Amino acid sequence: MSTNNAISSSDPQAVEKLMAKLESAKGLQATMKEVNAYWRKFGTCVGAPGITEEQGEKLDSKIATTSYSWEKQPFSSYTLTNNNADIKRMDIRIKELTRKIEVGFSGWAFAGGRAEANTEANRLQIIFDERTPTEMHNAMRHAGFVYS
């Protein structure tokens, strides 16, 4: 059974959790770069900074047994690229969540109702004073709003 490691935007500690995950990813990125540089210089991963001797031996055996010519380094370039993309994605998400917290969006009133930000449910709710006309109802449903 797999576990869900997703961090919901509605979680009150989402920014802190994302910051921890971001720091972990940055540490991994630095370690992978150091290990690759060490391997290029010495031809082995044993003794590389940031990893244990056992991990170094495991990486060395992986390199020796891999039959693909493009994987002749401890950490493939696509692994570094994917991790770097995750770092950028998390950084953008942290900025967005921080901005939302700072703005403190509360909603607004309009003729015939009001719009409210429901932070607990993580959604925008539009509340009408009376039943909406069929045309407006259909247009809103078409735009992706769900009535409840």
pLDDT in tens, 62-93: 888 876 777 788 999 999 999 999 999 999 99
Mean pLDDT of the chain: 87
Q: Tell me, what's the pLDDT at 64? A: 86
In terms of Cβ atoms closer than 10 Å to its own Cβ (0-12, 13-18, 19+), residue 45 is buried
Contacts of 34 (CB under 8 A, 6+ apart): 48, 49, 50
